[in-house]
Amino acid sequence: MAWVKDVYRDEIRSGFLVTAHRKRIWDIELNMLAELERICEKYHLRYFAAWGTLLGAVRHGGFVPWDDDMDLVMMRPDYERLKEVAAQELAEPYFFQTAYTDGALFGIVRLRNSATMAMLPDINYFNQGIFIDIHPLDAVHDGGTRMEELRSYQMELYALAMEEDRYREAMAGGAPLVIVPTERERILRLPLRERFRLYEEFQLAHFDDSQRVNYYPQEFPGRQMTLTKELFSRILRLPFEQTTVPVPAAYEEAVQIYYASSWRQLIRGDSTHEGLLFSPDVSGISSGAAGAAFPHAMRGSEADGRAVSHQRGGSALVSIPAAPGGGRKV
């Protein structure tokens, strides 16, 4: 079935031209969402629309017209369980991409369609099919004594896996670090993915130590959000194109947390996936220079509009670029 109405026809939405090409990308993403929904129902896992996907559900009843991806969040325990079962549940062309599968280390998982393309030119060492982003929500500092004790260790484990150069700069600069030197050097000798595994195991082990949650790379000064476990305790489904997506029952409160008062305004800016080449017809597991091989692929949002991009990634040590596709669309 088609998950997007009139998927092969151009359309004006909110004064914005949405081409059939973009609608086909959306349709592929919603088809993957149906697979994710099937798995989550089978294993009693919960996921929620977040960022631009939540905004689109609340404000547009579907995709933000200039958006080109889907962003979901899951509580860390459900997220880890999904990682355990997804590969055995999915068949071609679906591919469940984690830090441990094929060379991609984004800090999140992605459900991809290997028969399609969302490719970074000149990068060909991991699957780059059209994708859905799934971010873990971890326990973060809520003012309690326990998380105050753990916050620095949490921060350093993330930096050791994702920001080694800047972590070493902090070491050389005499920054107050809590991981003792012998343990720090042991971790630094591990492959990056094993360091990231330590970080994920730590987050799972301490999920019950706080009532506040966040996608951890947003936990640096000026970017903390007041997401709570309570906010996600009551869920309803909102229409989204030809299907529905789960959102917090207090969904306007959730959108306000993500976007402040600007969420009611239609604002267009640069693409959140600047440089990505999208094609619903060409495989993203091909090698070679994508730009030369596929000159008619859509680059980011260029074919039919532009979207606002705000960095989603970062940490309390330093601000780092988000994983490809990480951004906020208003």
**Statement to judge: residues 238 and 159 lie in one domain:** no
Domain that holds residue 118: 11-136+233-299
**Statement to judge: residues 132 and 20 lie in one domain:** yes
**Statement to judge: residues 132 and 149 lie in one domain:** no
Residue 128 located in a structural domain: yes
The SS3 call for residue 40 is: helix
pLDDT of 113 reads: 96
Q: Predicted confidence band at 302 (pLDDT cuts at 50, 70, 90)?
A: very low
The DSSP bridge pattern shows strands 109-113 and 277-279 to be: unpaired
**Statement to judge: residues 123 and 211 lie in one domain:** no
In this structure, the number of other CB atoms found within 10 A of the CB of residue 218 comes to: 19
Q: How far apart are CA 185 and CA 166, in angstroms?
A: 15
Per-residue pLDDT, averaged over 40-56, amounts to 97
**Statement to judge: residues 42 and 131 lie in one domain:** yes
Q: What is the mean pLDDT of the chain?
A: 83
Q: How far apart are CA 105 and CA 323, in angstroms?
A: 9
Q: Predicted confidence band at 234 (pLDDT cuts at 50, 70, 90)?
A: very high
Residue 2 located in a structural domain: no
Q: How many residues does the chain have?
A: 330
Per-residue pLDDT, averaged over 82-104, amounts to 93
**Statement to judge: residues 121 and 75 lie in one domain:** yes
Task: Please give the structure tokens belonging to residue 279.
Answer: 């094609």
The SS3 call for residue 141 is: coil
Q: Predicted confidence band at 44 (pLDDT cuts at 50, 70, 90)?
A: very high
Residue 129 located in a structural domain: yes
Distant-in-sequence, close-in-space partners of 61: CB < 8 Å, separation ≥ 6: 238, 239, 240, 241
Q: How far apart are CA 290 and CA 159, in angstroms?
A: 31
Cα–Cα distances (Å) from 27 to 23, 70, 177, 193, 271, in that order, read: 6, 11, 47, 33, 19
Amino acid code (one letter) for 71? D
Residue 214 located in a structural domain: yes
Please choose, from the candidates 118, 193, 187, the residue with its C-alpha nearest in 3D space to the C-alpha of residue 153. Answer: 187
Residue 308 located in a structural domain: no
Residue 66 is given by DSSP the state T
Per-residue pLDDT, averaged over 29-36, amounts to 98
Residue 328 located in a structural domain: no
∠ Cα 50 33 279 (to 5°): 100
**How many domains does one find in the chain?**
2
**Statement to judge: residues 290 and 255 lie in one domain:** yes
Residue 326 is given by DSSP the state -
Please choose, from the candidates 39, 51, 45, 102, the residue with its C-alpha nearest in 3D space to the C-alpha of residue 215. Answer: 51
Instruction: List, in sequence order, every beta strand (DSSP E) within 28-93.
Output: 48-49, 71-75
Q: Predicted confidence band at 172 (pLDDT cuts at 50, 70, 90)?
A: confident
The SS3 call for residue 162 is: helix
**Statement to judge: residues 107 and 245 lie in one domain:** yes
Which residues partner with 16 through β-bridges?
A: 13
Residue 114 has pLDDT above 90, yes or no: yes
The SS3 call for residue 220 is: coil
Find out whether 106 and 323 touch, Cβ atoms under 8 Å. Answer: yes
Task: Please give the structure tokens belonging to residue 211.
Answer: 């009532």
The SS3 call for residue 51 is: helix
Residue 21 located in a structural domain: yes
- Which of 31-35, 245-249, 300-304 has the lowest average pLDDT? 300-304
CATH number reported for the structural domain that contains residue 62 in this entry: 3.30.460
Which of 191, 218, 245 lies at the terminal end of a domain, its last residue? 218
In this structure, the number of other CB atoms found within 10 A of the CB of residue 315 comes to: 22
**Statement to judge: residues 162 and 197 lie in one domain:** yes
pLDDT of 328 reads: 46
**Statement to judge: residues 62 and 113 lie in one domain:** yes
pLDDT in tens, 255-290: 998 888 788 777 765 455 667 888 999 887 754 434
**Statement to judge: residues 87 and 121 lie in one domain:** yes
**Statement to judge: residues 105 and 240 lie in one domain:** yes
Residue 18 located in a structural domain: yes
HSE of 174, CA atoms in CB hemisphere, 13 A? 0
